[in-house]
Amino acid sequence: MNRKIIFLTTDSMGSGDGRLGEQLLETYFTLLKQQEQLPAAIFCVNRGVLALTGKSMASLHLKELADRGVPVLACSTCVNYYGVGDQLYAGEVSSMGHFIELSAQYEVITIS
């Protein structure tokens, strides 16, 4: 997993029920943080930046991943669009240019 980056495009997993999707996303990051090999980075775009706010249970696990050294990054355009710059519980604001650099170095796993 350390040669991969996670591209998170939403604050839930899958296209079904929203509450179920939020639970699935939380479970994914709960299990991911327990792995020996962690991803090289997590980059959040569009509604994915909402998973970094205190309104999302996934933010607790994303913060733990960040505390363990995984760069957890939020698209600046998306953060500004949703107006959540002061609500980020986990991660730091970054740029799409940085994502392009990361995606040139690592395999990308998209969660949508």
User: For the CA atoms of 86, 26, 60, 78, what is the dihedral angle to 10 degrees?
Assistant: -20
Note whether 47 and 66 are within 8 A (CB).
Answer: no
CB atoms within 10 A of CB 69: 7
Question: Which residue from 35, 71, 73, 32 is spatially nearest to 51, judged by alpha carbons?
Answer: 73
pLDDT of residue 5: 97
Q: Would you say the pTM of this structure is higher than 0.85?
A: yes
Q: What type of residue sits at position 2?
A: N
Mean pLDDT by 10 residues, the chain (112 residues): 95 92 96 96 98 96 97 98 97 96 97 94
Residue 77 β-bridge partners: none
Task: Please give the domain boundaries of the chain with CATH numbers for all domains.
Answer: 4-110 (3.40.1260.10)
